[in-house]
């Protein structure tokens, strides 16, 4: 009986934690992209994008990019809510959407990154080719984490952690657009979004007494990638590669 009660209690904590973290990452994305996308023309414009006037034909790509990523946010929130409320059968059926939606996100994200690399990223104090490692690495991390999450979907503790890491990877674009979250004076290769890894580490240490293997390797992947990508982007090899691919 004690074991049953303890299992139920642990499950409730799990649901609350992962639901809360998914909601937090979603709010960060909404906050970051509110001026340029979600609440465009309703709040002061603090960052710029290819949706700014004069209107360009390429704006359809960035609108599609925003809509597809918004659909992913809605899907992840729905999924953690379904699990938390015990509707796991619906969760499994709805999860099939991810097999189609995730590749669409990566394809559209890479197309948007390629266009910005060629014609310039907005509000970025470095060359477009150097900065291109940021969206490319975010999408690479997202792809790896979602792939792991879907392949391990029958192992709940693995699955939920990898899917949360995927959200943290794509939330970085929203985080970077919120001035208060990015103190001035920090080196450009330092990402303050790494603080989102802290709750996962603490949760594992308290609940498991150790780091879950997914938390360990996911944290290493994000921290390592975020720290090294601009160094890679500044190398002649990366510039030659991007220039060659761009024709």
Cα separation, 134 vs 117, in Å, equals: 11
Quick one: pLDDT at residue 8?
A: 46
Quick one: pLDDT at residue 101?
A: 97
Q: Give CA torsion, residues 112, 114, 118, 123, to 10 deg.
A: 50
Quick one: pLDDT at residue 247?
A: 61
Written as six digits, the tokens of 79 are 């999924």
Cα separation, 110 vs 242, in Å, equals: 13
Q: What is the pLDDT along the chain (247 residues), one digit of tens a residue?
A: 434 434 444 677 899 999 999 999 999 999 999 998 999 888 887 787 888 888 788 899 999 999 999 999 999 999 999 999 999 999 999 999 999 999 999 999 999 999 999 999 988 889 999 999 999 999 999 999 999 999 999 999 999 999 999 999 999 999 999 989 988 888 888 899 999 999 999 999 999 999 999 999 999 999 999 999 999 999 999 999 999 987 6
Cα separation, 128 vs 242, in Å, equals: 10
Quick one: pLDDT at residue 6?
A: 44
Quick one: pLDDT at residue 53?
A: 81
Quick one: pLDDT at residue 50?
A: 84
Q: Token match 């619906």: residue?
A: 90
What residues contact 26, with CB distance under 8 A and at least 6 apart?
73, 76, 77, 167, 171
Cα separation, 82 vs 92, in Å, equals: 9
Mark out the alpha helices in the chain (DSSP H runs).
2-33, 59-84, 88-95, 97-119, 128-131, 133-151, 156-175, 197-207, 213-233, 236-245
For the chain, the straight-line distance linking the first and the last C-alpha, in angstroms and rounded, comes to 67
């Amino acid at each position: 009986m004690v074991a049953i009660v303890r299992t139920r209690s642990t499950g409730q904590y799990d649901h609350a934690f992962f639901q809360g973290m998914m909601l937090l990452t979603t709010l960060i994305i909404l906050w970051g992209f509110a001026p340029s996308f979600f609440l465009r023309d309703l709040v002061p414009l603090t960052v710029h994008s290819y949706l700014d006037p004069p209107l360009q034909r390429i704006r359809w790509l960035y609108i599609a990019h925003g809509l597809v990523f918004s659909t992913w946010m809605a899907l992840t929130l729905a999924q953690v809510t379904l699990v938390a409320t015990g509707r796991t059968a619906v969760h499994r059926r709805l999860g099939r959407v991810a097999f189609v939606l995730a590749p669409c996100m990566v394809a559209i994200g890479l197309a948007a990154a390629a266009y910005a690399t060629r014609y310039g990223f907005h509000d970025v104090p470095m060359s477009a080719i150097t900065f291109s490692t940021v969206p490319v690495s975010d999408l690479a991390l997202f792809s790896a984490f979602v792939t792991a999450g879907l392949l391990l979907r029958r192992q709940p503790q693995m699955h939920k952690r990898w899917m949360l890491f995927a959200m943290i990877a794509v939330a970085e674009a929203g985080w970077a657009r919120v001035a208060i979250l990015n103190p001035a004076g920090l080196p450009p290769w330092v990402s303050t979004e790494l603080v989102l890894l802290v709750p996962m580490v603490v949760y594992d240490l308290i609940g498991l007494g150790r780091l879950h293997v997914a938390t360990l390797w996911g944290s290493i992947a994000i921290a390592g990638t975020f720290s090294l990508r601009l160094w890679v982007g500044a190398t002649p090899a990366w510039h030659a590669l991007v220039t060659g691919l761009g024709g």
